[in-house]
Amino acid sequence: MSNVYLLYGTDNYIVNKTINDKISELELIHDHPEIVYVDDDETTISQLQDMLTYNSLFAFFRIVVIKNPFWLKKTGRKSGKINEVLEVFKSYFAQNNLAQALIVSTEELNQTSPIVKLFKQNNAEIMECQSLNKIELMKWIKDRLNDKGIKASDEVVGLLADSGQDMYYLENLLEKFALAKVANLTKEHLQNELETIYEVKIFKLTDALLARNLKSALQVLHQLIEQGQTAPYFIAMINNQFISFAKVKAAADKGYNKNQIEQVTGLKSFVVRNMLNHVGKFSWPEIWQLFELLLETDIKIKTTSQDNYILMESLVIKICNK
């Protein structure tokens, strides 16, 4: 097996833990290795090649970590450069890399990618970073609570596990309770926090729709359904978000900068910044069709006996696939 590791998974907490575990494992074998993190968005092809072939003067072993690079995604704004990256890695694998380990992570393993195929041909270890199921997540929460000296019933632990929030959020939330010296965590402690979680999840859904990320959008939709959110609420929130998005797109089309868009729309800075990242993903005809879809789905929810959540799934699929 070569010192090349290709990790994939959508849970950042699990992926980062797996990366750190692998680094710790390598540190047991190699004394004080140099660890290099490559920023994919800021790294040019030539810089990537230099980083992979650089010989350190201060360490006998290097570990290069590249997280979620564009060249392992199915599509992307830099997809035309994939052949250049492929040549970089062909050159890399043709060399003796015994003094270096390469760790690469991606959200989804694209089996058709020529780079993934090249990694496999060169005996890279493929590691799936699976999200925890509910039982595993409840155990993880109980362990964290025990570490912090906080008691909680199985019902409270179940509420946290069912919140649909990621493990980083849960860890920070438990740390917040520990700092507040909460000795016995109750449902009352969680009430305001869970309401905030629901709001965050709704915005995660609309963000996934703006990005036309079908997998993520369906995942968040199902989490919200499990938490008891209703179809009319989904319709209202999606409608409001896309009205705001249309305002941002219209202002951007007129050449307004971010600050000007904030002024004319009255939207918060982080909202405008996020929406500006997606204005190119929807044409105006697609936006009008989207509002027609929302109206059509809303009418079906209110006037037919069709399953509301099947209607919502269909809406999400149509928005992401248009």
User: Which parts of 149-283 fold into alpha helices (H)?
Assistant: 154-161, 167-179, 187-210, 214-226, 231-253, 258-265, 269-276
Annotation: CATH topology of 4-128: Rossmann fold (3.40.50)
Q: What pLDDT does 41 receive?
A: 59
33-77 pLDDT, tens per residue? 888 888 665 678 888 888 888 766 666 889 999 988 888 876 554
Smallest CA-to-CA distance from 69 within 110, 120, 121 is with 110
Question: Residue 196 corresponds to which tokens in the numbers above?
Answer: 């905030």
Residue 228 has pLDDT above 80, yes or no: no
Scored b (16 or more CB within 10 A) or e, 284-307 reads eeebeebeebbeebbebbeeeeee
Reply yes or no on whether the pLDDT at 24 is more than 90: yes
Count the neighbouring beta carbons within 10 Å of the beta carbon of residue 233: 13
**Residue 277 · residue 245 · CB < 8 Å:** no
Q: Which of 216, 176, 168, 217 is nearest to 193 (CA)?
A: 176
Candidate from 68-77, 81-90, 194-203, 237-246 with smallest mean pLDDT? 194-203
133-180 pLDDT tens trace: 999 999 999 999 999 999 999 999 998 988 767 788 888 889 989 999
Is the model's pLDDT at 197 over the cut of 70? no
Mean pLDDT in the chain?
A: 87
**What's the pLDDT at 205?**
85
* Fold of domain 204-321: Zinc Finger, Delta Prime; domain 3 (1.20.272)
Residue 201 has pLDDT above 70, yes or no: no
Residue whose C-alpha is closest to residue 161's, from 152, 153, 170, 150: 170
Q: Is the pLDDT of residue 195 over 60?
A: no
Q: Which two tokens stand for residue 124?
A: 């890279």
Residue 9 Ramachandran class (φ > 0 left, ψ -120 to 50 alpha, else beta) = left
Structure tokens at 36: 């290099």
Residue 284 reports pLDDT greater than 60: yes
- Of 29-38, 39-48, 205-214, 296-305, the least confident: 39-48
pTM for the full predicted model: 0.60
- The sheet carrying 4-8 orders its strands as 34-38, 62-67, 100-106, 4-8, 125-128
pLDDT of residue 199: 59
What are the residue ranges spanned by the domains of the chain?
Answer: 4-128, 134-185, 204-321
Helix (H) or strand (E) holding 22: helix 12-29
| pLDDT at 154 (0 to 100) | 94
Query: Stretch 10-34: mean pLDDT, rounded?
Result: 91
The count of C-alpha atoms lying within 13 angstroms of the C-alpha of 185, restricted to the half-sphere facing its C-beta, is 29
Residue type, 69: P
Q: Please name every residue paired with 278 in a beta bridge, in sequence order, or none if there are none.
A: none
